[in-house]
Amino acid sequence: MDMLWSGWGDPAKAAPLPETVTGLLRDLLGVKPRTAGPVALEDIAVPEPPLETAARQALSRAVGGEEHVRLDAEARIRHTRGKSTPDLLRIREGDVDDIPAAVVLPADHDQVAAVLRACAEHGLSVIPFGGGTSVVGGLAPSRRGPFVALDLRRMDQLLALDPVSRTATLQPGLRAPQAEALLAEHGFTLGHFPQSYEWATIGGFAAARSSGQASAGYGRFDEMVLGLTLATPEGTIDTGRAPRSAAGPDLRQLFLGSEGAFGVITSVTVRIRPVPRTRVYEGWRFPSFEEGAVALRRLAQDGPRPTVLRLSDETETLIGLAQPEAIGAAVAGQQPTGCMAITGYEGTDEDTSHRREKAAAVLRACGGTPLGEEPGQRWAHGRYSAPYLRDSLLDAGAFAETLETAAFWSRVPELYASVREALTTTLTESGTPPLIMCHISHVYENGASLYFTVVSAQGDDPVAHWEKAKHAANEAILDAGGTISHHHGVGSDHRDWYVREAGPLGIEALRAVKRRLDPAGMLNPGVLLPLD
């Protein structure tokens, strides 16, 4: 199944907002119902594919037949940009200014390499496309003539599994649920469950340095990667002969997070774990975000560390965003206020029981009140629902978007306050005062991530309002010592701030790598790095 072209995921999973939420939007934010829905897909005016006959033929030869080169309007629309809120608002209005000339579907590494050669010969740029879930402009190249979307969905196999070493080699087009199902047949799991889990792909996880909701226990995706194969216009690169090596700089780290700008990932070898015998999730309440953050830091630094560890601030707890099926319950007086924390434990019966007991002692000592398993189970059941909630908010006339960052523990309070202030000030000045929610969803010994959700009225120009607010938030992030992205990636939206974060010499070093691997600049131009 393809994702909904004008929203997120499976259209059958969309649900209208509860009256408590629509009332809050109306009374608190001044949200007005939309007068019209999105334009119909068949009504979008799509230009003819700007491909010469020779280019079409070369692409068809590269992928084994013309049926694997899609030129129809629907396929091209479905591969236009990603799934950020500005992306969705633009496509809902029928804006296909960034539409690819063709959608090309290779079946293996050799076909990917052949596509790159064909595109180089005919002056086409190439945008690797996995699940299409980018929310940072990662699928919106800078204009350099026609480009093709390189859809990797046919590359969806488990290539190898080593139960002794506990490794698996996966093709990049495997969606996460497919990968989990294939591994489960052998008794293993990857343990990577980001909010995009139902639609994102293995290659996308590696290309964007994804981090899953169970990262406290399983680690980030880039920590799971033991090796990868990359197809570039200049040839093939294979990395990862051993779990660790002192044989020079680790090239895996150069390509993890490279977002298709250096090459196309065609296989990924990952660490796998046995499927856990026990999974249990529970809720805790803290009087304040500050006190909850101290508890998370204690567990992250001194243990025992749960598999899942997250904390919603007061506003996110009040709205109920940590448990999407209970949205609005606290507003209606059905839930306690304060700050909601979710802890989860996965593993053997003995291990989960031990960590749960020891962690509970730490949480109580830090002022936490146990709420039992019901809040945790609600979170687990609804943890992939937030993007669908965004679609419902857009349908109701609201604007909803997210951004994330990370910092060392000592800087987290300032970072939290600075980003909230930047968003509140700029959106209020635009006439669309926001509701801002935040949670900590990824913790480390030395720091944590902050994930903000922003809801406001759409106003007269929601994309322009958000661009101004996002610019202010990005400035606040760097000024407060945060990183411009913890797990969404750089794309084109964060590119200019990434340049500042990496520094002039660092960017020139990366430009040198790109010039060697992609001398024509055909791979995702303007994404990750500015154009030369």
End-to-end CA distance of the chain: 38
Nearest to 188 by CA among 213, 160, 216: 160
Q: Does the CA dihedral 53-56-61-66 come out positive or negative? A: negative
pLDDT at residue 334, rounded to an integer: 54
| CA angle at 475 for the pair 471 and 477, rounded to the nearest 5° | 115
State the fold for domain 11-151: 3.30.43
Neighbours of 73 (CB within 10 A): 18
State the fold for domain 278-384: Alpha-Beta Plaits (3.30.70)
The DSSP bridge pattern shows strands 308-312 and 264-271 to be: unpaired
pLDDT at residue 237, rounded to an integer: 98
Determine the distance from the C-alpha atom of residue 443 to the mean position of all C-alpha atoms in its chain, rounded to a whole number.
17
pLDDT at residue 37, rounded to an integer: 80
**Percent helix, percent strand, percent coil in the chain, to nearest 5:** 40, 20, 40
The DSSP bridge pattern shows strands 235-239 and 225-232 to be: antiparallel
- Single-letter amino acid code for the residue at 152: L
**Residues 158, 316: Cα–Cα separation, whole Å:** 39
Domain ranges of the chain: 11-151, 158-274, 278-384, 387-493
pLDDT at residue 406, rounded to an integer: 98
pLDDT at residue 333, rounded to an integer: 52
CATH class in words for 158-274: alpha beta
The DSSP bridge pattern shows strands 435-440 and 147-151 to be: unpaired
**Residues 442, 440: Cα–Cα separation, whole Å:** 6
Q: For residue 447, what are the contacts with CB-CB under 8 A and spacing of at least 6?
A: 406, 407, 408, 409, 411, 412
One CATH from 3.20.20.60, 3.30.300.330, 3.40.50.300, 3.60.21.10 for 387-493: 3.30.300.330
Peptide bond into 106 cis (omega under 30): no
Please count the CA atoms within 13 angstroms of the CA of 51 that sit on its side-chain side.
Answer: 26
Q: Is 350 left (phi over 0), alpha (psi -120 to 50) or beta?
A: alpha
Please tell me the pTM assigned to this model. Answer: 0.95
pLDDT per residue of the chain (532 residues) written in tens, 0 to 9: 789 999 999 988 877 888 878 888 999 899 998 878 889 999 999 999 999 999 999 999 999 999 999 999 999 999 999 999 999 999 999 999 999 999 999 999 999 999 999 999 999 999 999 999 999 999 998 977 899 999 999 999 999 999 999 999 999 999 999 999 999 999 999 999 999 999 999 999 999 999 999 999 999 999 999 999 999 999 999 999 999 999 999 999 999 999 999 999 999 999 999 999 999 999 999 999 999 999 999 999 999 999 999 999 999 999 887 665 656 555 555 556 799 999 999 999 999 999 999 999 999 999 999 999 999 999 999 999 989 999 999 999 999 999 999 999 999 999 999 999 999 999 999 999 999 999 999 999 999 999 999 999 999 999 999 999 999 999 999 999 999 999 999 999 999 999 999 999 999 999 999 999 999 999 999 999 999 8
